[in-house]
Amino acid sequence: QVQLVESGGGWVQAGDSLRLSCGASASMYGMGWFRQVPGKEREFVAAVSRSADVIRYSDSVKGRFTISRDNAKNTVYLQMNSLKLEDTAVYYCAARGTPYSRVSLSSERYYTYWGQGTQVTVSS
């Protein structure tokens, strides 16, 4: 069973930066980040294809967040800069273990594995 383990969450002030990491126990294809706040649906944040030739961001984080990956370490990162109060959420790492999906990287349906989530809290 593939495991995804997130780290790097925490409590920061608005304007600060955080870097999330997610390590997979096996080689993955597309990898992404989603987030969820209580009472709301989980939303897409960012995703990257295996070769990093395709990268997607939600409009709300574009220009502030950067997704990257290190395939040698089976790890995906999310560098979050200029954090805002509305970035407060539980952040989930997601990954796909098989290729050739017609579903978009930004869709939850693309992913076959999910991490346990890491809390990011941004305060004023």
Q: Residue 27 in contact with residue 35, Cβ under 8 Å?
A: no
The span from the CA of 51 to the CA of 46, in Å, is 15
7 phi and psi angles, rounded to 5 deg: -155, 165
The span from the CA of 43 to the CA of 50, in Å, is 21
Query: What tokens appear for 103 in the block?
Result: 């579903």
| Residues 71, 76, 80, 84, Cα dihedral to 10° | 160
124 residues of the chain, pLDDT tens digit each: 899 999 999 999 999 999 999 999 999 999 999 999 999 999 999 999 999 999 999 999 999 999 999 999 999 999 999 999 999 999 999 999 998 778 999 999 999 999 999 999 999 9
What pLDDT was estimated at residue 5? 95
